[in-house]
Chains A and B, each alone.
Chain A
């Protein structure tokens, strides 16, 4: 058992205060979508709502509702509508209230 004590001391503390530095693997991780309002039409919105497997997307009139807390960053919406959906590159997600994770994106494509 003393050997484990010495082994622990030798290895030292490897955790850091957050965020000491960006995680090197973060750039490779899939991230939730970002939406281009100008490219979103009702048809496009309905298409991406239909392919979302975790029900993170819904359409209410001319507004696309995106629940970042439900999104799994699977990338299916980006595949279905590459012009209107990009990857946000934001892999850190935090909010003080659940409701802060729900975004409303205006559908402006049909007006342009």
Chain B
């Protein structure tokens, strides 16, 4: 385990100075995004500014999105550093902007999404994949902006590659209750040569549905963007709305959110453990992990009134408080169930052998692709949104768990370490006091950025409110959006066909979070 202290704001100040030298202008008025340092960058210097930021040590591209609140679409890039976030915004004239994913590869998914939703694209002719909208989405399909001029590509491989490889179609309907997701596996029979994902089957237009609603109405949809991260995405969204309105939740309500967030982490890591057992064919181990999962879900239901913790977070605070005595009584037993199963699994050679050296990602790959959560931490990168907070995690610091190796075993070990840390943190939050309480939302507009560390990594949200307290644009970026980008690379790292379910279980991502 590594304890990482939040660092001084030197990185941000230094970058603002460098961007100012290029012509960038720090925004300090009402147009700024609260919760981040905002710098307005002209289109002609966007490419150079991106070079400068991407080349700075310890900074990663956390998100990129557009909105059409002004006369022309505005492109926003959110950069994460050790002590917070830097946001650049650029008004795009015409329908093209510099090819940013050539500089920061993490931007490619967002370039595809922005083209689908707003019709603006990088100024190179590079093919952009279909990402969220289904093939039948014509010009009248609900979008956030204008439809693209050209239809999107669906990047299937030729059925033979060099006479050896072929595409093996898998999905979108998969076994039991697994989410709809299409895999285009390009294989020579055993080795994975390439892999394509199509997740548009799960598209529900969540961001489109949020427009025109108040934050209190919208939280219902925000939680459902990625149901297995309902607390994290809900917290990120609520924090963005609170930042936009210049308020903070009461301290006890913020601790309530943190208890729910750590419970969410616990049940997700138990579910990932069960999925790893299923992927390795260890049915008794799977049952043992699922018993732990069921006990944890029942603890959620008894403590918060919902097995998946929906309805806890609300803009301004928390709508439900945990039953503290029940949590103190029941949680150790449920966690002990998971721990016993995990300890037995780690002593089982046939299990550990399948995890070792499978789905390897390097720290450099994780950094370049902007990966987050246990996937990044298993490569040794201490990336954790709980370090960038002024709320409960500032008073009760998290001990970030990292591992070396970047393989499935490292990710599993990170998850187990985090589960133990979650139990410890829940005890501290309960001792400090929790409550269902909320700060009244004032009327008034503004922009805000919010974040929370979901079980699968940093969840981000950006919210713009008009003077009537209605959302004009809400951006939700669950961790799955980032980490599916690394899944392709992990599957290609000299793995065989049957390793893919193991790698998928260790990433523990959702198609819903990607397609929204």
Residues of A within 8 A of B (CB): 1, 3-5, 7-8, 11, 14, 23-25, 28-30, 51, 53-54, 72, 74-76
Contact = CB atoms under 8 A, between A and B. Distances in A.
Contact of B301 (A28, A74, A75): A28
A8 B221 contact: no
Given A53-B217, A74-B311, A75-B311, A4 B305 contact: no
B298 interface: yes
Interface of B: 217, 220-221, 282, 284-285, 287-288, 291, 298, 301-302, 305-307, 310-311, 323, 344, 348, 350
Contacts of A8: 284, 287
Nearest to A54: B220
A29 B288 contact: no
B284 A5 contact: yes
Most buried by A among B217, B288, B301, B323: B301
Contact of A53 (B221, B291, B302, B323): B221
B282 A4 contact: yes
A30 B284 contact: no
Contacts of B285: 4
A89 to B, nearest CB: 13
B220 A29 contact: no
A54 B285 CA distance: 38
A36 to B, nearest CB: 23
B350 A1 contact: yes
B277 to A, nearest CB: 10
A76 B214 CA distance: 14
A29 B348 CA distance: 38
Contacts of B344: 3-4, 7
Contacts of B220: 53-54, 74, 76
A87 to B, nearest CB: 11
A25 B221 CA distance: 26
A43 to B, nearest CB: 20
24 contacts: A1-B350, A3-B344, A3-B348, A4-B282, A4-B284, A4-B348, A7-B284, A14-B291, A24-B298, A24-B302, A28-B302, A28-B305, A28-B323, A29-B301, A29-B305, A29-B306, A30-B305, A51-B217, A53-B221, A54-B220, A72-B310, A74-B220, A74-B310, A74-B311
Nearest to B302: A25
A75 to B, nearest CB: 7
A53 B209 CA distance: 11
B410 to A, nearest CB: 23
Given A4-B344, A28-B305, 14 more contacts: A1-B350, A7-B284, A7-B344, A11-B288, A24-B298, A28-B323, A29-B305, A29-B307, A30-B311, A53-B217, A53-B221, A72-B310, A74-B220, A76-B220
Contacts of A4: 282, 284-285, 344, 348
Contacts of B288: 7, 11
Contacts of B221: 53
Most buried by B among A5, A7, A11: A7
Given A4-B284, A7-B284, A53-B220, A30 B302 contact: no
